[in-house]
C-alpha cells in the first residue's frame, strides 16, 4: 500500500514536465508578422530589404528574445498608387501584419498607406518627411511613425551654402511625379529670400521610366537653362537614372563648366557611395549634402560586414556593397519595433495602439544616430556632411548642423561631447569647383569672347562730360567718352587681375527710365552711365557702389542786393563776440588807468579828464599808436598783450568784412520753392530723367520745361522762359563751374542714392565692380578723374557763391580773450601787492618816529607827538586836496582854478614831525608839490 503513491507521484511529475515542454515549445514558435513595401528594383530598395532582413535575423537569433519571433513579408512597390494601396490592404487583412515598413520616396504615397494604418490601427513606419507639421500629422495619421527629421534642416543647409558663397540666384531642379510636394519648394524659396537669394527658375524633369526617349526630353529642358543668368543649380530631388541624363546633357552644353556650381541634396548625395563611375565623372566639382552617421562604432562595423556579405550574394551586379543611410534607418526601424515587442510581452504585443505608443517612446542610439520621437517624428535634428565630388568618389569638407552651422568636426562623436567651433561660411580653399576653377564660381552666366557683356550707354545726355557718344565719320562705329566711360575702364583694369570681362557698348537714345527697363527686360546686361540710385529701381536691378553723390538742387540767376549794406560792418562778429570784445576793452582801460594815474601825470586831473584819457588811450590802440607815455612796467605788459589781441581781431575783422562785401553780391533771384509754387513760375529740368516726374509728383510743380542740352540753360534764363532750373548735384557742380558768379544754388537739397552703374538683378559683377570703385576711391584715382573732367574754370574764383561768409564767433578767439584778461588781472594783483608792501614799510617807519622817538627828547615832547599822531595824522599814503590859492601862497605855480588830488607819500609826511620844521602842515604840502 505504501509503495503505490510513489509511482503516482512520478506519473504526475512526468505529466507536468511534458506539459511545460509543450507550452515552452508553443511559446517559442509564436511569431509576429510585419510587412515591408520597398522598391526592390532601386538601389535604395535593395539596401532597405537587405537591412530589414539582417535586423529580423539578428533579433530572432538573439537568445534574449525568446518570447516571440518576427517574420517579415516583403512587397515590391509599383508606379500605380492604387496597386500600392491594395498591397497594404492585403498585408493587413491577409497576412495580419502588426506593422508595415514603407520604403516609398514620396510623402503622398506614404500618406495613402498611412490611411490604411489609421483605418486598421496598424503602425506605419516611413522614411520620408511629411509635408505638414508633426502635430498635424499626428492628428490626421495617428498610427504613422516617421523615421526622419524635418526637411527644414536640409533646406536651411542649402540656403547656408548659397549664402556662404554670396550667390544671389539659384535654379531648382527636381524630378516630378504625380505625388510631387510643392510645399518644400515654397519653404526653400522663403528661406533663400531671408538669406538674400531667390529662385530664378524651376526645372521639372519627368520620370525617365515612363518616357520612350528620356534623353531628348531632358535635353529640351536643360537647353532652356542657357537663357537663364544663374549658374547655381540645386538638384532637390531626383532618381539616379534621371540625374544621369541631366548631368550628361548639362556637361555637353557647358553648364558643368567654369563659374557654374551644383548642389546635390541628400536624395542623390546619400547614394554617392553606390553609384557607378560614369555618374561620378559627370558631376565633378559638385557639392553634396549627405546625412551624417558614425562609421567608427563597433555596431556599425558588425552590421557592415553582415550587409556586404548578404548584399553581394543577392545582388552580384552591384559595383558597391557599402550600406548607406537608407539601410541604417531601415535597420533602426526594425530595432525600435523589436524593442517594443520585447517590452510588451506576448499578451500585449497584439494591442496595436499600445505597440505604436511603445515604438514612439523608444530612446536608443541606433546605426543612423539617436532614435527618439516627438509628435511621431525623430526629435534629433540631422547633421549633414558636406562633400565635394572629386575623382572616383568624393572629398569630405566638413559638417553642417542647425546648432553650430559649418564645422570641421561633428558635434558628438562616439557618444562623447567635443568642442565644436561653428561658422556661418564654408571654406572655399579646399573645394575643387567645376572646370577646375581655382576661385569661387560667380554662379552667373559670365561673358565670353563669343558672348560678351552687352552694356547700354545713354546716347542722349544733357551733360556730355559724364557720357558722350559720337559717331565716327565715314563709318558705323561710335566713340564713347566721358567721366563714366573712363571710370569703367579703370574698373576693368582691377577686374582683369582675377578674370577677363569681354564687353560691347551699345548706345540707347531713349530716356533714362526706359534704359533701366531694358536691363530689366534683359536686353542689356549692364548700364555704364550717370544712373541715379532710386528706391523703385533697386527692386528690379542691381546698383554698384555710388561713385558720385546725388541729389536735386535748384539753380537760379544771381542778383545784386545792396539794401543790407548799411549795417554790414557789424556782421563780421557775432553779438556775443562784440559784447566780449567791449568788455575786455573796458576792463583793460580800467587796469591801465589804475596803474598809471598813481605816478603818471598824463593820467591825472579831474575824474572826467582821467576817464577820457584812459578811454582815448585804449581805443587809439585799436587803430594807431597812442601818444600817452606809460611808465609802469606792469602797464607795459598789459598793453603788449592787448595790442596782440587787437592785431588778431582787426586782421580777422578786415578779412571777414572784405569777404562779406564781395560774396553777398551773388544773391539768388529766387529764394525758395514756395515762391515758385505761389507764382506758378516756369522751371527747367532734364526731361529724359526721373527729375520731371519727381517735380510733378513730390514737389507738386506744374509749369515744367524740358531742357535737353546743358548750353540751353543760360539761354532760357536770359530769355526769361524759366526762373529756376532743377539739376542733380553732379550736374549742378559742373554747371556752376562753367558759369561761375552768374548762378547760385537756392533752397534745400533733395537727397538720392547717388550715381552708379547698373547690372541685372542678382549679378555678382555688381559686387565686383563695387569693390573696384571703392579701391579707386581709396587710391585717389577717382579724385584724379574728377579733377580732369570737372576742372574749375580759370575765370572762376568762387564757384559756390551761395554759401555766404559766416560771422566770426567767440569760439575762435576765447583763448586770446582769456590770455589778455588773465594778464591784466595778474599784473594788477602784482601792482597792488607792491603798492601795499611799500605803503606798509613807509607807515612802519613813520610809526617808529612817532612812537619810538630818540631818547634825548623830553617826556612832554614825546607825549605831545603820540597824541597828535592818534588825533590828526594817519600813517598811510593819502590824497590831499590842494587849492590853487594855497598852492600860490606856497610859491607853487598855479595850474588851474580847480582843485586837484595829489599823492602824499609817508616819507613826505614824516617831515611834518621833523624837529627843525616849524610848520608841519606846510612842509607836508610843499613836499607833495615838489614830488609832482
782-800 pLDDT, tens digit each: 999 988 888 766 556 444 4
Query: How many Å apart are CA 761 and CA 506, to the nearest integer?
Result: 20
241 and 221 in a single domain? The answer is yes
Give domain status of residue 56, yes or no.
Answer: yes
Mean pLDDT of the 420-433 span: 76
Q: What's residue 577's pLDDT?
A: 81
Q: What is the mean pLDDT of residues 707-736?
A: 85
Tell me the pairing of strands 144-146 and 124-126: parallel
Q: What is the CATH number of the domain that holds 483?
A: 3.40.190.10
Instruction: For residue range 508-520, list pLDDT tens digits in order.
Output: 988 899 999 999 9
pLDDT of residue 405: 87
Is residue 422 within 8 A of residue 189, CB to CB? The reply is: no
633 and 693 housed in the same domain? no
Question: Is residue 315 situated within a structural domain?
Answer: yes
Higher-pLDDT residue of 908, 582? 582
Indicate the pLDDT class of residue 331, thresholds 50, 70 and 90: very high
| Whether residue 285 sits in one domain with residue 302 | no
Q: How far is CA 17 from the centre of its chain?
A: 84
> Does a structural domain hold residue 594?
yes
Picking from 606, 630, 662, the residue at the C-terminal end of a domain is 662
Q: Which of 318-322, 511-515, 921-925 has the lowest mean pLDDT?
A: 921-925
- Is the C-alpha dihedral spanning 640, 641, 643, 647 positive or negative? positive
**Tens digit of each residue's pLDDT (9 = 90 or more) over 462-503:** 888 899 999 887 778 889 999 999 999 999 999 998 888 999
Note whether 647 and 627 are same-domain residues. yes
Question: Does residue 320 contact residue 240 with C-beta atoms inside 8 Å?
Answer: no
- The answer as to whether 727 is a domain residue is yes
List the end-to-end C-alpha distance of the chain, in Å, as a whole number.
175
- The enclosing domain of 310 has a CATH number of 3.40.50.2300
Reference 334, options 119, 111, 58; nearest CA is 58
Same domain for 134 and 171, yes or no, is no
Confidence category of residue 891, pLDDT binned at 50, 70, 90: very low
Looking at the fold, whether 325 and 260 belong to one and the same domain comes out as no
CA 76 – CA 167 distance, rounded (Å)? 42
- Whole-number Å distance between alpha carbons of 873 and 906: 11
Instruction: Give the SS3 label for residue 846.
Output: helix
The region of weakest confidence among 306-320, 359-373, 590-604, 859-873 is 859-873
Average pLDDT over residues 281-297: 91
Which DSSP string do the residues of 637-675 spell out, in sequence order? HHHHHHHHHHHHHHHHHHHHHHHHHHGGGSEES---HHH
pLDDT score for 848: 62
pLDDT of residue 603: 64
> Could you tell me if 558 and 801 are in contact, meaning their C-beta atoms sit under 8 angstroms apart?
yes
**Angstrom distance (rounded) from CA 681 to CA 701:** 9
Residue 866 has pLDDT above 90, yes or no: no
Q: State the CATH number of the domain containing residue 597.
A: 1.10.287
How far are the Cα atoms of 155, 586, 850 from residue 868, in angstroms, in the given order? 116, 43, 9
Cα dihedral sign for 534, 536, 538, 541? negative
CB 145 within 8 A of CB 123: yes
**Three-class SS state of 757:** strand
Q: Are residues 642 and 710 in the same domain?
A: no
The CA angle 91-95-100, to the nearest 5 degrees, is 40
Residue 869 counted as domain residue = no
| Domain identity same for 159 and 221 | yes
- Is 440 inside any structural domain? no
Number of residues in the chain: 932
Rounded to whole angstroms, how far apart are CA atoms 770 and 545? Answer: 5
Q: What residues contact 575, with CB distance under 8 A and at least 6 apart?
A: none
- d(Cα 878, Cα 859) in Å, to the nearest integer? 30
Q: Would you state the pLDDT for residue 262?
A: 95
SS (H, E, C) 679-716: HCCCEEECCCCCHHHHHHHCCCCCCEEECCCCCHHHHH
Give the mean model confidence (pLDDT) for residues 923-930.
37
Residue 430: pLDDT band with limits 50, 70, 90: confident
What pLDDT sits at residue 667?
Answer: 60
Q: Which residue has the cell 579828464?
A: 609
The per-residue pLDDT for 893 is 39
**Model confidence over 291-305: pLDDT tens digits?**
998 888 899 999 999
Task: Point out the domain boundary residue: 378, 396, 421.
Answer: 378
Asked if residue 102 lies in contact with residue 37, where contact means CB atoms within 8 angstroms, the answer is: yes
Q: How far apart are CA 151 and CA 191, in angstroms?
A: 12
Cα dist from 188 to 110, 160, 679, whole Å:
22, 11, 57
106 in a domain, yes or no?
yes
Question: Which pTM was predicted?
Answer: 0.68
User: Contact 545/766 with Cβ under 8 angstroms?
Assistant: no
Residue 626's contacts (CB-CB under 8 Å, 6 or more residues apart) are 616, 617, 620
CA–CA distance from 624 to each of 589, 611, 616, 652, 721 (Å)?
16, 19, 11, 17, 55
> Per-residue pLDDT for 364 more than 60?
yes
User: pLDDT per residue over 45-75, tens digit each?
Assistant: 999 999 999 999 998 888 776 567 889 999 9
Map residue 288 onto helix, strand or coil: strand
SS3 category, 902: strand
* Residues 595 and 632: beta-carbon distance below 8 Å: yes
The confidence score (pLDDT) of residue 560 equals: 58
* Distances 529 to 311, 516, 539 between C-alpha atoms, Å: 66, 11, 19
Q: Quote the mean pLDDT of the chain.
A: 79
Query: How high is the pLDDT of residue 928?
Result: 38
Q: Are residues 677 and 740 in the same domain?
A: yes
Using alpha carbons, select from 122, 118, 52, 72 the residue that is nearest to residue 92.
122
Both 727 and 741 in a single domain? yes
- Tell me the pLDDT tens digit for each residue of 185-221: 888 899 999 888 999 999 998 887 777 888 899 999 9
Range among 144-148, 484-488, 906-910 with highest mean pLDDT value: 484-488
Nearest alpha-carbon partner for 798 in 663, 622, 655:
663
What would the grid cell of residue 121 be?
A: 490601427
Contact 174, 204 (CB under 8 A): yes
**Spatial separation of the C-alpha atoms in residues 289 and 162, rounded to whole Å:** 13
Cα dihedral value 218, 221, 222, 225, nearest 10: -170
pLDDT at 162 over 90: yes
Higher pLDDT, 263 or 278: 263
Q: What percent of the chain has pLDDT over 90?
A: 25
Edge-to-edge strand ranges of the sheet holding 526-532 = 503-508, 453-458, 526-532, 755-760, 541-543
Residue 415: pLDDT over 90: no
Distance CA 205, CA 173 (A): 7
Residue located via cell numbers 597812442: 626
pLDDT at 889: 38
Q: How far is CA 274 from the centre of its chain?
A: 45
> Domain range for residue 520?
453-541+766-772
* Confidence label for 425 from pLDDT (cuts 50, 70 and 90): confident
Model confidence at 4: pLDDT above 90? no
Same domain, 705 and 733: yes
Long-range pairs of 88-95 with CB within 8 A, sequence gap ≥ 24: 88/35, 88/37, 88/112, 88/113, 88/116, 88/117, 89/116, 91/35, 91/37, 92/35, 92/116, 92/120, 92/122, 93/120, 95/33, 95/35
Position with higher pLDDT, 614 vs 470: 470
Query: Which range (326-330, 582-586, 905-909) has the least confidence?
Result: 905-909
Q: What is the pLDDT of residue 12?
A: 63
Q: Who wins on pLDDT, 805 or 48?
A: 48
Beta strands in 482-576 (DSSP E): 503-508, 526-532, 541-543, 551-559
> 184-207 burial string, b = 16+ CB within 10 Å, else e?
bbebbbebbeebebebbbebebeb
What per-residue confidence (pLDDT) applies to 765? 92
What is the DSSP pairing of strand 551-559 with strand 667-668? Answer: antiparallel
Q: Could you give the angle at the alpha carbon of 382 between the alpha carbons of 205 and 175, nearest 5°?
A: 5
Residues 389 and 248 in one domain: yes
Count of the separate structural domains present in the chain: 5
Is residue 473 domain-resident? Answer: yes
Closest CA relative to residue 85, chosen from 125, 121, 114, 52: 114
* Element at 327 (helix H, strand E): helix 325-344
- Give the mean model confidence (pLDDT) for residues 773-777: 94
Mean predicted confidence (pLDDT) in 665-690 = 78
Of 637, 662, 687, the last residue of a domain is: 662
- pLDDT (tens digit per residue) in 504-556: 999 998 889 999 999 999 999 999 999 999 988 998 999 999 999 888 888 88
Q: What pLDDT is recorded for position 506?
A: 93
DSSP state at residue 548: B
CA distances from 838 to 141, 597, 841, 885, 907 (A): 114, 17, 5, 32, 11
Amino acid at each position: 500500500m505504501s509503495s503505490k503513491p510513489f509511482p503516482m507521484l512520478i506519473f504526475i511529475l512526468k505529466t507536468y514536465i511534458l506539459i511545460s515542454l509543450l507550452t515552452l515549445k508553443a511559446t517559442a514558435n509564436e511569431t509576429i508578422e510585419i510587412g515591408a513595401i520597398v522598391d526592390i528594383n532601386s538601389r535604395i530598395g535593395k539596401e532597405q530589404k537587405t537591412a530589414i532582413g539582417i535586423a529580423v535575423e539578428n533579433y530572432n537569433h538573439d537568445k534574449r528574445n525568446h518570447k516571440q519571433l518576427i517574420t517579415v513579408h516583403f512587397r515590391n512597390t509599383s508606379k500605380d498608387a492604387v496597386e500600392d494601396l491594395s498591397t497594404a490592404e492585403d498585408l493587413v487583412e491577409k497576412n495580419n501584419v502588426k506593422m508595415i515598413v514603407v520604403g516609398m520616396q514620396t510623402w503622398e504615397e506614404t500618406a495613402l498607406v498611412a490611411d490604411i494604418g489609421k483605418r486598421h490601427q496598424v503602425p506605419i513606419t516611413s522614411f520620408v518627411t511629411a509635408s505638414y507639421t508633426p502635430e498635424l500629422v499626428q492628428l490626421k495619421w495617428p498610427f504613422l511613425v516617421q523615421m526622419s527629421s524635418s526637411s527644414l534642416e536640409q533646406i536651411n543647409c542649402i540656403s547656408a551654402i548659397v549664402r556662404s558663397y554670396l550667390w544671389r540666384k539659384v535654379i531648382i531642379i527636381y524630378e516630378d511625379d504625380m505625388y510631387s510636394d510643392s510645399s518644400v519648394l515654397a519653404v526653400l524659396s522663403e528661406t533663400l529670400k531671408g538669406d538674400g537669394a531667390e529662385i530664378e527658375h524651376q526645372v521639372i524633369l519627368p520620370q525617365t521610366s515612363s518616357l520612350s526617349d528620356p534623353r531628348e526630353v531632358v535635353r529640351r529642358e536643360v537647353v532652356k537653362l542657357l537663357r537663364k543668368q544663374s549658374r547655381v543649380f540645386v538638384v532637390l530631388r531626383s532618381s539616379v537614372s534621371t540625374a544621369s541624363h541631366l548631368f550628361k546633357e548639362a556637361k555637353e552644353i557647358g553648364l558643368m563648366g567654369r563659374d557654374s556650381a551644383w548642389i546635390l541634396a541628400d536624395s542623390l548625395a546619400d547614394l554617392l557611395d553606390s553609384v557607378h563611375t560614369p555618374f561620378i565623372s559627370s558631376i565633378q566639382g559638385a557639392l553634396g549634402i549627405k546625412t551624417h552617421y558614425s562609421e567608427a562604432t563597433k555596431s556599425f562595423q558588425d552590421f557592415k560586414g553582415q550587409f556586404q556579405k548578404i548584399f553581394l550574394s543577392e545582388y552580384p551586379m552591384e559595383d558597391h556593397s557599402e550600406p548607406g543611410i537608407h539601410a541604417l534607418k531601415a535597420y533602426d526601424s526594425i530595432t525600435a519595433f523589436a524593442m517594443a515587442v520585447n517590452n510588451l510581452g506576448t499578451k500585449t504585443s497584439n494591442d496595436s495602439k499600445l505597440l505604436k505608443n511603445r515604438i514612439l517612446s523608444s530612446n536608443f542610439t541606433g546605426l543612423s544616430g539617436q532614435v527618439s520621437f516627438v509628435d511621431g517624428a525623430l526629435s534629433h535634428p540631422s547633421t549633414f556632411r558636406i562633400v565635394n565630388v572629386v575623382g572616383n568618389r568624393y572629398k569630405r569638407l566638413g559638417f553642417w548642423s542647425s546648432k553650430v552651422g559649418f564645422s570641421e568636426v561633428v558635434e558628438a562623436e562616439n557618444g562623447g561631447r567635443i568642442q565644436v567651433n561653428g561658422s556661418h561660411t564654408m571654406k572655399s580653399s579646399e573645394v575643387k569647383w567645376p572646370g577646375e576653377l581655382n576661385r569661387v564660381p560667380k554662379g552667373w552666366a559670365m561673358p565670353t569672347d563669343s558672348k560678351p557683356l552687352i552694356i547700354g550707354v545713354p546716347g542722349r545726355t544733357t551733360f556730355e562730360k559724364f557720357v558722350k557718344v559720337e559717331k565716327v565719320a565715314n563709318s558705323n562705329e561710335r566713340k564713347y567718352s566721358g567721366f563714366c566711360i573712363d571710370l569703367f575702364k579703370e574698373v576693368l583694369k582691377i577686374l582683369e587681375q582675377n578674370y577677363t570681362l569681354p564687353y560691347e557698348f551699345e548706345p540707347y537714345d531713349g530716356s533714362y527710365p526706359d534704359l533701366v527697363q531694358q536691363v530689366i527686360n534683359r536686353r542689356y546686361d549692364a548700364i555704364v552711365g550717370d544712373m541715379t540710385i532710386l528706391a523703385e529701381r533697386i527692386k528690379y536691378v542691381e546698383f554698384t557702389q555710388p561713385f558720385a553723390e546725388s541729389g536735386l538742387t535748384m539753380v537760379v540767376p544771381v542778383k545784386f542786393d545792396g539794401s543790407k549794406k548799411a549795417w554790414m560792418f557789424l556782421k563780421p562778429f557775432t553779438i556775443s563776440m562784440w559784447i566780449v570784445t567791449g568788455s575786455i576793452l573796458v576792463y583793460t582801460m580800467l587796469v591801465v588807468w589804475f596803474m598809471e594815474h598813481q605816478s603818471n601825470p598824463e593820467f591825472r586831473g579831474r575824474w572826467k579828464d582821467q576817464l577820457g584819457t584812459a578811454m582815448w588811450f585804449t581805443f587809439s590802440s585799436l587803430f594807431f599808436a597812442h601818444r600817452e607815455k606809460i611808465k609802469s612796467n606792469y602797464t607795459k605788459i598789459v598793453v603788449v598783450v592787448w595790442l596782440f589781441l587787437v592785431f588778431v581781431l582787426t586782421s580777422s575783422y578786415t578779412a571777414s568784412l572784405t569777404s562779406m562785401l564781395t560774396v553777398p553780391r551773388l544773391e539768388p533771384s529766387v529764394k525758395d520753392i514756395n515762391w515758385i509754387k505761389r507764382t506758378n513760375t516756369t522751371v527747367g529740368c532734364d526731361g529724359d530723367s526721373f527729375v520731371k516726374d519727381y517735380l510733378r509728383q513730390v514737389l507738386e510743380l506744374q509749369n515744367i520745361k524740358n531742357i535737353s542740352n546743358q548750353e540751353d540753360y543760360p539761354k532760357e534764363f536770359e530769355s526769361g522762359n524759366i526762373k529756376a532750373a532743377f539739376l542733380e548735384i553732379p550736374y549742378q557742380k559742373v554747371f556752376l563751374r562753367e558759369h561761375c558768379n552768374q548762378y547760385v544754388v537756392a533752397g534745400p537739397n533733395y537727397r538720392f542714392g547717388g550715381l552708379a552703374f547698373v547690372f541685372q538683378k542678382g549679378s555678382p559683377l555688381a559686387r565686383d565692380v563695387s569693390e573696384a570703385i571703392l579701391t579707386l576711391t581709396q587710391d585717389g584715382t577717382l579724385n584724379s578723374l574728377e579733377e580732369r573732367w570737372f576742372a574749375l574754370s580759370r575765370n572762376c574764383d568762387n564757384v559756390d557763391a551761395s554759401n555766404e561768409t559766416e560771422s566770426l564767433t567767440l569760439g575762435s578767439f576765447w583763448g586770446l580773450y582769456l590770455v589778455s584778461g588773465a594778464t591784466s588781472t595778474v599784473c594788477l594783483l602784482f601792482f597792488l601787492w607792491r603798492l601795499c608792501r611799500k605803503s606798509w614799510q613807509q607807515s612802519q617807519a613813520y610809526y617808529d618816529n612817532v612812537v619810538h622817538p630818540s631818547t634825548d627828547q623830553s617826556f612832554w615832547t614825546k607825549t605831545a607827538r603820540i597824541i597828535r599822531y592818534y588825533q590828526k595824522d594817519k600813517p598811510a599814503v593819502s590824497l590831499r586836496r590842494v587849492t590853487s590859492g594855497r598852492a600860490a601862497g606856497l610859491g607853487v605855480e598855479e595850474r588851474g582854478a580847480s582843485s586837484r588830488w595829489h599823492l602824499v607819500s609817508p616819507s613826505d609826511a614824516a617831515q611834518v614831525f621833523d624837529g627843525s620844521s616849524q610848520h608841519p602842515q606846510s612842509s607836508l604840502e610843499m613836499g607833495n608839490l615838489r614830488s609832482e
